[in-house]
Amino acid sequence: MNKRLIFLLVLLLSVVLMFGCGSKTDKGDQIIPPPQEQGSDGADATGLTSFKTTDIYGEEQTQEIFSGYDLTLVNVWGTFCKPCLNEMPDLGELQKEYEPTGVNIVGIVVDVQDNDMQVIEDQRTLAQEIANTTGAGYPHLLVSTEMIEPVLSQFDAIPASFFVDGDGNIVSEFYIGSKSKDEWKSLIDETLANQK
């Protein structure tokens, strides 16, 4: 594995663990523009257009998880992050409400793997329990190296969320901090309207 990618992953996880998670009450909402620079391979770093990983249940997943949807809200979270966990029931409800309209929700959990990208089974079990108890029945992906440079290295607090199109291209800013169900509905409706 590329030493630079390992370093970026360790740095990302360290910063997230050090500074914790963001919410409107503790850090204020932040909006970060999407990445515009090129990735290390010279290709445009536009999002999650090519990756291979597993979900929290061990099922293989790729960027194909976005195909068939006009829009997907990607929510980056951690098992230790209270604002992350607090918004998950609303995200679960929104996924059920919006899926028939071509909108999906996908989570990426950042603290289920160690620095060598190996799964920590207790953490995976905890992530599964959280998804089940919060009603967040949408897919929850583990971090892969292909996600780090173009996306996950762009922010230093969670929850962090953004929208992608059916190919995994980022079509919004990064939203740092938790949001209410009504706030997410407004952002989903606005972003969906801009896609059409």
Ordered structural domains, the chain, with CATH: 3-195 (3.40.30.10)
Give residue 46's pLDDT: 74
Strand-pairing partners, residue 38, are 44
Instruction: Look at residues 191, 47, 63 and name the one whose alpha carbon lies nearest to residue 139.
Output: 63
Distances (CA, A) of 170 to 48, 101, 161: 7, 19, 11
State both tokens at 140: 């929850």
pTM above 0.85, yes or no: no
CB atoms closer than 10 angstroms to residue 4: 12
pLDDT of residue 195: 83
CB 170 within 8 A of CB 63: no
- 39, 95, 75: which is closest to 162 by C-alpha? 75
pLDDT by residue for the chain (196 residues), tens only, comes to 555 545 445 445 544 444 456 543 343 455 545 554 433 333 344 799 999 999 999 999 999 999 999 999 999 999 999 999 999 999 999 999 999 999 999 999 999 999 999 999 999 999 999 999 999 999 999 999 999 988 998 888 999 999 999 999 999 999 999 999 999 999 999 999 988 7
Cis amide linkage into residue 100, ω under 30° from 0: no
Looking at residue 14, what is its pLDDT?
Answer: 46
Res 11: pLDDT: 45
Tokens encoding 154: 């762009």
